[in-house]
Amino acid sequence: MQRIVAGITTLEQHLETVKGKREVYRPPSCPHCGIKLLCQHGYYYRKADRRVQRPSLNPVPICRYRCGGCRRTCSRLPECIAPRRWYDWSVQQNSLSARLDGLPVGGGGDDGQPAVRSTARWWAWLQARGPIFAFSLRCRFRELGRASDFTGFWRQVFATLGLPRAMAWLDREMSVP
């Protein structure tokens, strides 16, 4: 099941979609049993706005759906919120981009910036999953095939697609985080 709904790139856009067009988030079928009978089952709330400026948009509602067959619930996230991650894709892209450029990244985590441990974990994740991600992205986006090394490839992904869109596309093919 696709856990990421592509095209919803900001939290503001997500909030408008939840108010007006919740059906965008409805999965095509249950990820657990495959039945296509999913009913809206309320929301759960998640912290997604890590910006330092105020007012904050937290907590952000995430639509839940319940399967009529197995009775389990599932949900899908907008492109701007990373599944199972504290920070959104754009913050991760900024940190990874700085790491690609050899700049020091991370802070104490108190000022809205990710901690050094978080950026190190994201870097290790990208290095471990990078070859599989690169293969899938190169198959879909031919222009990415021109980059010969790891650093050049990810710089090109960040410049052309951006990490949020790349991860939304990869989520169709495999489990991302």
- Strand-pair category, 77-78 with 4-5: parallel
pLDDT of residue 134: 93
H-run or E-run covering 73: strand 73-75
Question: CB–CB of 25/42 below 8 Å?
Answer: no
Percentage, residues of the chain above pLDDT 70: 92
**pLDDT (tens digit per residue) in 48-86:** 777 666 677 888 899 999 999 999 999 999 988 888 888
Ordered DSSP codes for 89-125: HHHHHHHHHHHHTT----B-SSSSSPBHHHHHHHHHH
Question: CB–CB of 153/96 below 8 Å?
Answer: no
- Decide if pLDDT at 153 tops 90: yes
Task: Look over the chain and give the mean of its residue pLDDT values, rounded to a whole number.
Answer: 87
Mean pLDDT of 143-165: 90
Mean pLDDT of 84-108: 83
Q: Is the pTM of this model over 0.85?
A: no
Over the range 6-38, which residues count as b (16 or more CB within 10 Å of their CB) and which as e? Answer: eebbebeebeebbeeeeeebbbebbbeeeeeeb
pLDDT of residue 103: 82
Nearest to 1 by CA among 41, 46, 38: 38
**pLDDT (tens digit per residue) in 5-46:** 888 888 889 999 999 998 899 999 998 999 998 999 999 998
pLDDT of residue 157: 94
Q: What gap in Å lies between CA 158 and CA 94, rounded to an integer?
A: 9
